[in-house]
Amino acid sequence: MAQKGVSTVSRGRKRVFLGFSIIALFVLFMAALALLYMISKGRPQLLAWGLLILVGVVLVFLSMSILSLTGAFIWNKGIPRGIAVRAVASIFPFSLRLAKMFGIDEDIVRRSFLQVHNELAKREETHLTGQEILVLAPICLQKADCRYKISVEVSNCRRCGRCPVNGLLALQDEYGFHLAVSTGGTRARQLIKDLKPKGVVAIACERDLASGIQDTRPLKVLGVTNDRPRGPCFETEVNLAEVEEALLNLLGKQESISLPKGNMLGEGASS
């Protein structure tokens, strides 16, 4: 039986991640109360009380950040930045673990987290040059039967237009960023270490994007989830308009000048 393809046309909703974050905060708060109860039953220990105070301060910080962020999304108010970005990154592992306990697909929570992260990251003003930006693409964007390998040198691509790499190269011609194709998370992190970009547009599945964003903080990373109509890690696709939108944000620009919205492969973009 053929493996069912995965499409990310229906993007995650922010409320999924925020909801689990609030539940995770409640669980952590109850754990802190349990610790307080255990301390009160025995002799007060200075170290234990210090730990409890530290946990309390962290919980207050996370609670205020997540709740203010949730309120901003619900009532469409100005979204807090700075500490909110750190709070979202800090609470994400707890939210993911909690969702798993409830039997919720982890990718649903990851997708929601990415939506919240991207919205916060895009509100941090940046004015980078093309040479300060790295676009990381997964090797699975390439057609499986293509004999021109691009994992080491992207310029080996013949721009036939059969896969999205053609469109990414057209964007590179337009904006002058570094384009690299990664064979996995370890390779992606090594590329970031070697090239030292000030901003990254990463294309990958939800799992790789979420872990990569966590691992590269405080570097500004905008994630674009790929589409998997033929299943994971095989001839995936990406909405090039979303990639360009992320690029424009890093460049401090507002309007697209090269690709129409919805372009998946970039046919004709290099003409």
Q: How far apart are CA 129 and CA 21, in angstroms?
A: 35
Would you place residue 69 in the very low, low, confident or very high pLDDT band (cuts 50, 70, 90)?
A: low
Whether 2 has a pLDDT exceeding 50, the answer reads no
Q: How far apart are CA 89 and CA 71, in angstroms?
A: 18
Q: State the average pLDDT over residues 51-75.
A: 68
Shared domain for 81 and 108, answered yes or no, is yes
Q: Is residue 262 part of a domain?
A: no
Burial of residue 59 (CB within 10 Å: 0-12, 13-18, 19+) is middle
Host domain of residue 66 = 14-122
Q: How far apart are CA 64 and CA 29, in angstroms?
A: 13
**Contact by Cβ (8 Å): 66, 21:** yes
pLDDT in tens, 159-218: 999 999 999 999 999 999 999 999 888 888 899 999 999 999 999 999 999 999 888 888
Question: How many domains are there within the chain?
Answer: 2
Shared domain for 103 and 181, answered yes or no, is no
Q: Is residue 187 part of a domain?
A: yes
Task: Give the pLDDT confidence score for residue 222 in this predicted structure.
Answer: 96
Q: Is residue 5 part of a domain?
A: no
**To the nearest 5 percent, what fractions of the chain are helix, strand and coil?**
55, 10, 35
The domain boundary residue, chosen from 122, 140, 175: 122
Q: Is residue 1 part of a domain?
A: no
Q: Is residue 215 part of a domain?
A: yes
Q: Which residues contact 19 (CB under 8 A, 6 or more apart)?
A: none
Is 152 strand, coil or helix? coil
Shared domain for 86 and 179, answered yes or no, is no
Shared domain for 34 and 80, answered yes or no, is yes
Whether 123 has a pLDDT exceeding 50, the answer reads yes
Hunting for tokens 């390998």 — which residue is that? 149
Would you place residue 7 in the very low, low, confident or very high pLDDT band (cuts 50, 70, 90)?
A: very low
Shared domain for 139 and 239, answered yes or no, is yes
What CA dihedral angle connects 35, 38, 43 and 46, to 10 degrees? -10
Q: State the average pLDDT over residues 26-30.
A: 80
Q: Which residues contact 177 (CB under 8 A, 6 or more apart)?
A: 130, 131, 133, 134, 135, 171, 201, 247
Whether 29 has a pLDDT exceeding 70, the answer reads yes
pTM of the model: 0.77
Shared domain for 92 and 142, answered yes or no, is no
Is 113 strand, coil or helix? helix
Shared domain for 105 and 193, answered yes or no, is no
Q: Is residue 266 part of a domain?
A: no
Count how many Cα atoms sit within 13 Å of the Cα of residue 215 in the half-sphere of its side chain. 15
Q: How far apart are CA 92 and CA 250, in angstroms?
A: 24
Shared domain for 46 and 158, answered yes or no, is no
Q: Is residue 109 part of a domain?
A: yes
Q: How far apart are CA 159 and CA 77, in angstroms?
A: 44
Shared domain for 157 and 236, answered yes or no, is yes
**Among 1-10, 39-48, 94-103, which stretch is predicted with the lowest mean pLDDT?**
1-10
CA angle 8, 17, 214 (to 5 degrees): 85
Task: Give the pLDDT confidence score for residue 54 in this predicted structure.
Answer: 74
* Type of residue numbered 220: K
Shared domain for 42 and 104, answered yes or no, is yes
Q: For the chain, what is the largest distance between any 2 Cα atoms, rounded to a whole number of angstroms?
A: 77
